Amino acid sequence: MTDGSRAMAYAAGAIVIWSLNATAGGAVLAELTVLQVLALEFGGAFILLAAVRSIRRHDGGQAPAGHGRRARVVTIGVVGITGTIALQYLAFATAPLVAANAIAYAWPLLAAAWTALAPGGDRSLSAIVFALAGFAGLILLLAARESPDGSAQVPLLGYVAAIGSAVAMASYTLTAGKSGAATSDLLLAGTGAGALGFIPAALAEGAPWSPVWAVGLSVGIGVAMLAGGYGLWTVAMADPAGARLAPAAYLTPLLSTGLLLATGERLSPFALLGCALIILCAAGVALPALRRPTHGRPRDGVTRHDGAVFEQFDEAWVDGADGITLRVRTGGAGPPVVLLHGHPRTHTTWHRVAPLLVATGHRVICPDLRGYGRSAKPRTTADYSPYSKRAMARDILALMRHLGHERFAVVGHDRGSYVAARLALDAPRAVTHLAVLDSVPIGEALARADARFAAAWWHWFFFAQPDVPERAILSDPDAWYGGDPDRMGAENHVDYQRAIRDPATVRAMLEDYRAGLGVDRAADDADRAADRRITCPTLVLWSTQDDMEELYGDVLAVWRPWTVDLRGGPIESGHHMAEDAPHELAEQLVSFLG
């Protein structure tokens, strides 16, 4: 299944589940209080999700650590899940069900409007017309506030709650997929907060918990809507096609309103007109989104990979050194090899190479380095040693031991190659083979630095400055780093963009460079003075379209004093050879690893 069709399937599953919510919710609210329904829904969903988390942890999975990340996860979960459902059911209980449902499920309109206002958003005439129709429908419903028979005005509370629910869900859609948080973390935070708040409140009411079918259905709604619907939607929004599919959720009011009316719910004519306008907007916004291609046209000469990245790999969060938690993908069976990415990529840069190594009989481990991607980002120190290559190498050694590998091969690209080389120097008994791509040792690069190096690699020195590079990069990350989704692969591009747009990740990546000019160079210089060498077989590869030969001439000659068993050569590729020339790179690695 391609990434676009998979996202569409997840989104469609969520839409179907949510479309049944108002009808089922109206039925249980006729028998139980709002607090009872919310307590049962959140309690049932939380128990299920906690049980699943416990099983997955027992199997080795682990959620990301870090107080900053945890606070962000809790905020998104509480606002987007607890807030959405609590306000929605308050609206269901206090306003006409059809009107409350239509307003609460106007959140895709709010999300689409926000997206349209962003740079590059859809501002076509048709999109504007449909959006205006949707907002006009909302205004009509709010202006009418009529009871179903049109005889009296309904209090404003239910309508305000429905609007609040829509705003909360729109914020969830816009933030959840980009948060870098695991789906289970968001769902546990939201359902846990709801259970903690509503179960004691419902018990304090003293209302009878009957009939039994209403209690059971409330639990079922929670499990289906919260664990199922939110889970599918969160995964869909994290997919590369997710942002484009978000408006498709506007099929929810279309389907749910039709179901409500078919089961006997009524609405006054004036309010019905408002619902009709919202449904018109739903069809106009949602259907084009479902038809829109989810992949761009590939460049000539670039292999297109539509399949999901690391489809046969497991993803987990594993403790490295110093309590640092690393995000890691693992797959395959055989001699282990760990692949280390460079700046500003994440482990997904290997998505084309990793399956090729697995196919040749290797177990492949691809982590996000500390500070990068979704791995932990420790506080730095005056000498930046938490981001030294020695600290990162300790992470990889601890990770591999955790996975049961005492000896393994390591491949590093760009900044990852410095970590790989440091690991081979510091833990020679652990590393069986070392491959470094597009690099020479940091100490060698700085010792040879001249005007050409300063002109080509000026970013080393700019990134080492305090605060200024963060402000420059975060003002426009896309302009600073670039990145072509067709060339990189769509899902790899999404993971990369999530990283370069996150202030904490950008700062941590820069700390890597700050450590490079200080503690890392000092470590290299000490090794060179002591004539310490890499004792395992070493492969050095460099891309012909990069500047390694221009700067260093004979690249192998630079590495020779550092090794006892050296080989290597150029690869016809751009700098990111794992993305540009995956088959050529994999052939070289397989031949080297044996």
Q: Indicate the helix (H) or strand (E) that contains 327.
A: strand 325-331
- Strand 314-319 vs strand 566-571: parallel, antiparallel, or unpaired? unpaired
Q: What is the 3-state secondary structure (H, E, C) of 292-315?
A: CCCCCCCCCCCCCCCECCCCCCEE
Please list, in sequence order, all residues whose beta carbon lies within 8 angstroms of the beta carbon of residue 47, skipping any fewer than 6 positions away: none
Structure tokens at 478: 């896309």
Compute the half-sphere exposure of residue 157: CA atoms within 13 Å on the CB side of its CA.
6
- Taking residue 5's Cβ as centre, other Cβ atoms within 10 Å add up to 12
Residue 50 per-residue DSSP state:
H
- Nearest to residue 158, comparing CAs of 205, 103, 197, 110? 103
- Strand 538-543 vs strand 566-571: parallel, antiparallel, or unpaired? parallel
Report how far residue 371's alpha carbon sits from residue 233's, in angstroms, rounded to the nearest whole number. Answer: 28
- Taking residue 316's Cβ as centre, other Cβ atoms within 10 Å add up to 21
Known catalytic residue at 362: no
Residue carrying the six token digits 């790999």: 313
Q: 536 in helix, strand or coil?
A: coil
Please list, in sequence order, all residues whose beta carbon lies within 8 angstroms of the beta carbon of residue 233, skipping any fewer than 6 positions away: 10, 11, 14, 173, 249
Peptide bond into 466 cis (omega under 30): no
Contact indicator for 56, 316 with CB cutoff of 8 Å? no
Distances (CA, A) of 224 to 23, 218, 231, 249: 14, 10, 10, 17
239, 414, 495, 512: which is the annotated catalytic residue?
Answer: 414
Burial class (CB in 10 A: 0-12, 13-18, 19+), 481: middle
Q: What is the 3-state secondary structure (H, E, C) of 417-445?
A: HHHHHHHHHHCCCCEEEEEEECCCCHHHH
Known catalytic residue at 67: no
Structure tokens at 441: 């040792």
Please list, in sequence order, all residues whose beta carbon lies within 8 angstroms of the beta carbon of residue 582, skipping any fewer than 6 positions away: 303, 352, 353, 356
Report how far residue 88's alpha carbon sits from residue 80's, in angstroms, rounded to the nearest whole number. Answer: 12
Q: C-alpha 579: how far from its chain's center? A: 20
Compute the half-sphere exposure of residue 524: CA atoms within 13 Å on the CB side of its CA.
23
Residue carrying the six token digits 């077989």: 537
Report how far residue 481's alpha carbon sits from residue 373's, in angstroms, rounded to the nearest whole number. Answer: 15
Overall residue count recorded for the chain in this entry: 594
**Euclidean distance between the first and the last CA atom of the chain, given in angstroms as a whole number:** 32
295, 402, 525, 575: which is the annotated catalytic residue?
Answer: 575
Which residues are designated catalytic?
A: 414, 575
